[in-house]
Amino acid sequence: MKILESENYHKVTNHLMSIKINNLFARSVIEKRISGMVFVDNIENPKTFYVVHPYGMSLLFGDSKNIDFNNEFLNYSININRTRNKHEWMQAYSNDWDKVLSELYGNRMIKSTENKEFIEIGIVELNTRVNFKINREKYISNKKMNLPQDCEIERTDEQIYNEMKGSVIPSNFWDNVNDFIENGIGFSLLYKNQLAATAYSAFIHDKRLEIGIETISDFQGKGFAQLVCSALIDYCFENDFEPVWACRLENVGSFKLAEKLGFEPISEIPYYRLSR
């Protein structure tokens, strides 16, 4: 595995654009909208690729029969040299990789149902990634029309961007606040003037907008996420964007929220959590 410098990212573009699964996070790296990492088998003529978004999502694609790369990738996956200090959530394309990875990981790979809260070093946890497509009619019929008392929704500005706390927040998906304000979009729900939830564009490419959502812990379970996501979905429809949703099958909260918003599952793929 070799690190590809950003001035050579164009060598990845055609391969990435041929991928049929949701790859917006990888495009954000390759198109230099956010700083990530790209590993390849060969700098001059790469055929196997591994793109890592700084939030910890990654995509493996290209030639799956590259033995040298695969052996090095095994060491990377199980973090044998302790080069990573956090998990990575990996998708692989195409389906050829699933058999290769199963053989490569062997008994190091376990299902998420077999694992405890903390994944051990040297273990790869197998989850499922679900991609959704919105059903506009279902969204409209499910939509909550009125805000509860003491709630208001406003455009996410610089102050809210910096104030929002949690794991799935805009600052984890944009290089800086100015980039987000200029090129992204978000809406935030305030309860009694306190920031409660934010829905925003994690990625925007070719009129497709992938939704990120975070609710501050004190305000969870109140339906605020559905309300603020609706504001963002309305913005998408009004401005000719396709709203995109994806989550782990095991993330019951996100899955149920997607369904409440009118999203319907369209595909499931293996989703590998690599140990830190």
Distance CA 174, CA 55 (A): 10
pLDDT (tens digit, 0 to 9) for every residue of the chain, 276 residues total?
A: 999 999 999 999 999 999 999 999 999 999 999 999 999 999 999 999 999 999 999 999 999 999 999 999 999 999 988 888 888 999 999 999 999 999 999 999 998 887 666 666 788 999 999 999 999 999 999 887 788 999 999 999 999 999 999 999 999 999 999 999 999 999 999 999 999 999 999 999 999 999 999 999 999 999 999 999 999 999 999 999 999 999 999 999 999 999 999 999 999 999 999 988
**Cβ count within 10 A of residue 79:** 18
Regarding the domain delimited by 132-266, which CATH topology (the fold level of the hierarchy) does it fall under?
Aminopeptidase (3.40.630)
The CA distance from 199 to 201, in Å, is 7
CATH 3.40.50 fits 2-129, yes or no: no
HSE-CB for 157 with a 13 A CA cutoff: 4
Q: Which helix (H) or strand (E) holds 197?
A: strand 194-205
Domain assignments of the chain as residue spans, ordered by start: 2-129, 132-266
For 120, half-sphere exposure in the C-beta direction (CA atoms, 13 angstrom radius) is: 8
Per-residue pLDDT at 119 = 65
Give the pLDDT confidence score for residue 113 in this predicted structure: 81
Assess contact for 139 and 237: CB atoms under 8 A.
Answer: no
Q: Judge whether 128 and 141 are in contact, CB under 8 Å.
A: no
pTM assigned to the model: 0.93
Tell me whether strands 124-134 and 109-111 are parallel, antiparallel or unpaired: parallel
**Token pair of 87, please?**
């998990």
- Identify the pLDDT of residue 80: 87
DSSP state of 69: H
Topology match between the domains 2-129 and 132-266: yes
Please tell me the predicted confidence (pLDDT) of residue 258. Answer: 97
At 73, give phi and psi (nearest 5°). -70, -35
Cα separation values, 249 from 70, 132, 133, 224, 254, Å = 27, 11, 15, 22, 9
